[in-house]
Structure 1
């Protein structure tokens, strides 16, 4: 276990030192939880920081479990296996998609305003979140950044479900992870402090990184 996302980011940065002080590296965080982790990595590597905006599509009545995810630009990935197994209706999927699209648009305005995305160009992109459970948010983030045509995509997280990390590893060039617990329950269980991250905190950290 680690104390919080800040400590997790510092520990994860130690596994990424080969990417320090390079002008071809961009750190992309999945808000909100991935931002404090990514900020520490960005600081340690002296690499620019930006955001990739995604939203999980939660199961009806069990929103903490993903049946898919969406990203800016109309990108969507669905967990067809779980949708078929639980007989999730098309209307339920559409309802979740509509709700999360509204939140995605709100976050785009809150975090980016009129700025172009990404703010920086890079051949090597390091995707950061505070952990991987089902991995669908990360999957859709990977699809979103493929449109940027990077030469290398790295996924780095403090903790992950072992099977999820294996699934993600075939989609990218490299994965870096501090822990894959045998009995994975939830990302939050790996942290002593797992506070909610506000929009204000996201913007504060990103602005600090941009001013560096």
Structure 2
């Protein structure tokens, strides 16, 4: 019975949205370039395959990460726009027949490792990292103040790559999701992680005792 509490904690922890689970949460079909895209369908680095956002309340940091179908930077004029709905989001793509992509601020990540939050300025050096087909940006929550939502985990997001060689909506290659936003995944507090480790250790010990009895 002494293992009951940590074992229960371990089982409960399985339902938590851990960061390692979330990358598979938002996926996007390969090759679904918009018909209005003026660029080349050979620009695989502008075709979103997956996108995720993590929020750490203890540090007030958002981590925006996305994986493309090609290596980041293959299209020299490409960059990545994250739309954020903080509570007062409106649609800007009715002309494309999209009413589900709503935002009131954008974060821009570039293949050269720089980034910008529109209306708030450049991201600090080192905020944007690139690894093959994946580009990640870390954004302070102070740069994304609420416009209506009381909890930053209520914020919603959409990603649309652009080819800067073209103007307006013709520059947009893809939306992820196609006509909707998605929410961030909470990063567990350190105390929760410790509880989970203790619980898993207790579960393993209980199983060992059962197998030896």
TM-score (norm 1): 0.29
Structure with bigger helix share is 1
* Greater radius of gyration (CA): 2
